Amino acid sequence: MSSSASFDLPQRAPGAPVTLALGTMNFGKRTPAADAERILARAIERGITMLDTANAYVDGESERIVGRAIKGKLYEGRYWSPAFFDLVDAYAEVAKAEGLSLVELSYGWLAGLPHVDSILVGPATLEHLDAAIDACAKAVSPEARKRIDGIHRAHRGTESSYVR
């Protein structure tokens, strides 16, 4: 990795397969919806869980196709597990001890990292936007940062549907 990078990506273990992401930019244009849904189903069946989507792809049609095709399959299958609910509970304890909401803890933690230059905020409402902007100004104590890092290290690699 270049020394000018502002973050380090986890390195793939020797012999481990690369992570594949499915690009959806042609869904709804070159690839009709029915074909796109079959491609998505096969990708999920074959272990692809990372999707590249954008509302600019075919004026949002690509994301609508993806949303219909994976509703209840990919997101819930990836994140709705006892291990992830335990993880949220652990982070919620840290947030409570800091006097912060989970949103404030998350944005405050991220904004306080020295190697983070920008944060992409994707609000659905004005309230979400205001909450994200305000949360970036929240300080997270060094003790909480240590707890967060410990929670992450303990969980890392334990959820096979997410971390392979």
Q: Using one digit for the tens of pLDDT, what is the confidence trace for 61-95?
A: 898 998 888 876 666 666 677 888 888 999 999 99
- Residue 44: pLDDT band (50, 70, 90) is confident
Q: What is the pLDDT of residues 6-42, one digit of tens each?
A: 445 567 778 877 778 889 999 998 999 999 999 988 9
Report residue 140's pLDDT band, with 50, 70 and 90 as the boundaries: very high
Candidates 22, 2, 18; CA nearest to 69 is 22
CA distance readout (Å), 12 to 15, 19, 115: 8, 9, 21
pLDDT score of 158 more than 60: no
> Where residue 134 falls among pLDDT bands split at 50, 70, 90?
very high
Higher-scoring residue by pLDDT: 10, 162: 10
Q: In whole angstroms, what is the distance from residue 12 CA to residue 24 CA?
A: 25
* Separation of alpha carbons 73 and 67, rounded Å: 10
Q: What is the DSSP letter of 24?
A: -
Q: Which helix (H) or strand (E) holds 22?
A: strand 21-23
1, 115 contact by CB (below 8 A): no
